[in-house]
Structure 1
Amino acid sequence: MHSPDPLDVLVTGVGAVSCLGLGTDELWAGLKAADSRPTPVPGLIERIPDALAYQVTGVGSWSADATERQARATEFALHAAREAVADAGLTDVEIEDMAVVIGTAGGATGERDVDLGRDTGSSRAGDWSPMFAVSSVVSGEFGAFGTNLSVSNACAASGYALTMAMGMVRRGEADTVLVGGADALGTVPLSSFSRLGANDPKVCRPFDENRRGTVFGEGAAMLVVQSARTAGGRRRYGRLRGSAWSCDAYHPTAPDPAGEQLVRVAREALREARIAPEDIGLVIPHGTGTEQNDGLESRVLREVLEEHLDTVPLFSLKAFTGHSAGAAAAFAAVCAALIARHGEAPANVPLEQQDTGCDVWLPQNGPTSVPGVNTLINAYGFGGSNFSMVFEGEAL
């Protein structure tokens, strides 16, 4: 086990709500089963043939009518947060002083995600209450009076939240931080991606030769991170070892094909973690299933990890859960923690045919042993927001 360091940011609790079920046990079982598929989105599939998504059941209910939809992202976050706090065994004093940092791309925008040309009779007309109140609602639920931050920079949001949480702990601004991401489906992103031709009409299949775009998912993933002093003798999943941000400043939606900033952010995360490329034992890529992302990310990983990439397995998470937007990086971090706890990465969802332009290793015939491994996590967002992090798991 790693000897405590004053700068350690230790993960002592995790929680999740996903299409695979309510809780991390259900998430892990679903990853092991590798049989999740997207389903038609009611109210949209009739008008948009590729309106599919990896949908959460058992928490709230989806409806294309905004008058029936009540901030599902917040509901997801609350469920995942309760699990993470219980998993960490936080005391009342720790909860009271706890900081909360949550990333979300859409927040509660789904509540007002309506056809403005149609009179719905909604009492929400003219409602200008905050759309990004997920973190404040979660803090209120627990009675947490620490720093409260809501981060919303597209699909890198929860990655930036994780980096903020790391910094707060390392600077002594907080001993305990509840950090993660949450997002729910909305008609606007689903419809817009369809218009862009960026929806896959079948499944989310990153790195597959026949991929045609991404498929959205929804849910929440939360982690309790603590300083070494506060974590004490608690059971822990590992530590957040290094992270970094960068920005392409290239295009509102498309990544810079040169990939320079993606290389930069990954190398900076490794530098902060004080490890070399050969120390990375697993990668959880951004891997959205779009042609541009997967090919570019594969080339970036080759440049960063060099020949070591040949022996580093990738775990393609979005093939199981879809693209959970602002929650994506937090889901990757929770999965890294679960993989560390179990000492193995589940087999990837089988590909029909791997794209020859994606020169990466995606084990598909059984779990891969990865005890105590350093995992590189990537998340990229519209506007050129890039995030990479190194999570160091602890073998039991």
Structure 2
Amino acid sequence: MNLRFLICAAVLLGAFASRDGHAQNPGAAPPVTHKKQPLKGIELIRWQYALAESSYTLNPVNSLYDRFIEASERMVTAACMAASLQTLEYTAPPASKECLEAIRDLETNNPHNPTAICARSGIDSPECISTFKNQPTKVYKPNREDLNLKDDPELELSYRLDIERNANSVTQARQDFFNLLDQQFKAANDPAVPKPAPAEIRTKAAKLLRQSCHFVRLKWIAGPVLNDFADAQVQATPTSDPSHETAKLMQELQNAMNPERAQTPSAAATASASAATKTRVRLISPGCRDAINQVRNALPDFGQPLCYLYGWYTPQCLRGLRKERQMMQNEPLPKPGIPSPPSSTVPFEEF
């Protein structure tokens, strides 16, 4: 059990203790140094990362490895790339210790990880564009045998809970979006019908996507994997050499520092080496797929469907958002007295 794990465990235990202490002793004065507010933003992501790392360290199985790397990618995007969704630019990592450590840890635990490559090289770099070119997106269904995900029962549970929890909000968001499209169609044929503003339609489209795409997961799957979407039918080829140079070098350094462990690689190291030969696959729900297709058909120049399809910190997403922003700049200004809906391009905490 390494020092980092002990620190993570201590932080988690301390967090739970500080939150539960007053509940166990109602007569005690509330703690002064801890606010009773839920964790948000990067604080929440740090907590999720520490929890995922601790869980995987205790039980280094494939499903927990996938969760750990998921959390690691979120940590990298939060620490390094969050501003890119506002500026629509990212050329190099900031001079931040947390950012650089997050990239290094992700590269160590998942060699050739696309998010780490883009965080280090820039989203418009040839390396980033190349590595995300063949990243497949699959539509997850519990009975889908070609994905071979039976070893991850939590995945199905999470999927079903998400469907049940968001069913009503998805239905309402879809109805609101199609009502505006219907109004737009009627306005084109009847001058008496007010025409909805393009920004208003985009706002409803963004809400439909947000409500429909809560379930997004990353998995590392053995063998070539085809993209489920017709505009990206590129076969993703996993790295053929299981002994990547980066992973090999890291192992040699660890062996030099710990010669007594050189002949007995840990289960975590074995899982990491195994994942390096697999394909990184983005899983979305059927409802998310439907929302993406509906919005893309209605609004071809809207950028967000690409972000839900490929990931928010990807070349595809930023290109789509840039195109959308350019389109918005060319739109006529709203008439005086008519408030403009908020921009649909907002920071998003997904990966």
Same fold by TM (over 0.5)? no
Structure whose alpha-carbon radius of gyration is higher: 2
TM-score between the two structures when normalised by the length of structure 1 = 0.26
TM-score between the two structures when normalised by the length of structure 2 = 0.29
Quick check: which one's helix share is greater?
2
